Amino acid sequence: MSASVASACHAVAANVAAARSARGRASVRRGGDAVCGARATRVIAPRGNARLGVVMNSMDELDAEAAAVMEQIRQLQEANQKLKEDMDLFAMPEALPQRPDYVPEAGSTQGTSAPKSSFSADVLGMEMPYLGEGETRVGFQHFDKVENEKARMEAMRVEQAARVTGVTPRPPPKYEKTEWPLSIVFVSSEATPWSKTGGLADVCGSLPRELVKRGHRVMVVSPYYQRGTKEDTYFEGAFDTCSNASVGCFGAAHEVGFMHQIRDGVDFVFVKHDCYERPGGIYVDAMGNAWEDNQFRYTLLSHAACEAPLKIDFEGKGTYGDEVVFVANDWHAGLVPLVVASKYRQYWNTYHNARTITVIHNILHQGSEPATTFPNL
């Protein structure tokens, strides 16, 4: 802005000087009515097309034009001064003094400066991050090392996968809470990590956890196996709910207990009965032969699973109630839809709003039994 004002001043001065010189020369050529340095006595009327910046024939007009330009210059100078005052309001303050580096105590093996981390000045808006002293500082440094290593390994995994397959892996899913949360009961003969022979256990051990992330309330009902294997140790975290139930099948009433363990928000409920506590496999004995009472064992599981939502009072949440969705997995839980419809709805006046889903994981295993055993169910 200052350079523009100075340029305008020089231009006006040059125009005024040129005008006066031209006026002197014009008066001499027109008959000597005026001498150099004096005002001309002959006044020539101004042309009608006179414009700013053009030399005029009349000194009065020239002086008026100069006065108008000087007024413009004065206005520009005032605007320039006001602009300077406005810009001073946004001037940056002086930089804050730097916080001195951390000096460790005598004999300490800690460094004298903190590593750049999630607590850095970039994030906190501070000149220097404060990470505490002593063990607190060491803890933050260890946390940063672990997180940085995790990020580095993840980046290497993604890069390697993209290089080998040519496909960049999808980012982790973002879970959104559902607007219509449900109470869901999975019934399965096995669930990872407590018991497993195949993919059925993987599904019933992982899918419920994903449903919980979306806002559903989920229970998994499975047998409380005690087979003398390392998997038995996983049941150590389960506690007795003191909600025993009596179920009728195979011509008698059988009392079952319910053990409860929470993992990742899922209520894992294990049906406790003597038929599940024996050495050998889940479905076969030590010789590889199928247990002769498998039909009874999993009929008992289906009946007990129907009792669990009504009997078990989960501390702080209450029972699941009768408005649930049963997910019966494979033939081991195949009786659940039948028992809900023919027993509980018809005779016990409950589960009217319940829904049942049958999921077949392996059609090869159907739990075929002679028709003569059907009355036992």
Residues paired with 245 in a beta bridge:
256
pLDDT exceeds cutoff 80 at 282: yes
Structure tokens at 360: 């077949």
Could you tell me what percent of the chain has a pLDDT over 70? 66
Residue 291: pLDDT band (50, 70, 90) is confident
What pLDDT is recorded for position 69? 84
Contact 57, 23 (CB under 8 A): yes
pLDDT exceeds cutoff 90 at 305: yes
What pLDDT is recorded for position 41? 42
Residue recorded with tokens 């399965």: 188
Residue 18: pLDDT band (50, 70, 90) is low
Point out the least confidently predicted range of 24-38, 75-89, 143-157, 161-175. Answer: 24-38
What pLDDT is recorded for position 269? 94
Between CA 333 and CA 330 the distance in angstroms is 6
Give the CA-trace dihedral at 168, 174, 175, 179, to 10 degrees: -120
Average pLDDT on 10-33 reads 52
What pLDDT is recorded for position 256? 93
What pLDDT is recorded for position 60? 77
Residues 6 or more apart whose CB falls under 8 angstroms from that of 309 comprise 183, 185, 219, 319, 320, 321, 322, 324
What pLDDT is recorded for position 57? 54
Q: Taking the complete model, does pTM exceed 0.75, yes or no?
A: no
Structure tokens at 276: 């599940």
Average pLDDT on 299-303 reads 93
Single-letter code of the amino acid located at 144: D
Prior bond of 173 cis (ω within 30°): no
Q: Give the range with max mean pLDDT: 139-148, 168-177, 333-342.
A: 333-342
The β-bridge relationship of strands 266-272 and 325-329 is: unpaired
| Per-residue pLDDT tens digits for 97-115 | 555 555 555 554 444 444 4
Per-residue 3-state assignment (H helix, E strand, C coil) for 6-26:
HHHHHHHHHHHHHHHHHHHHH
What pLDDT is recorded for position 4? 53
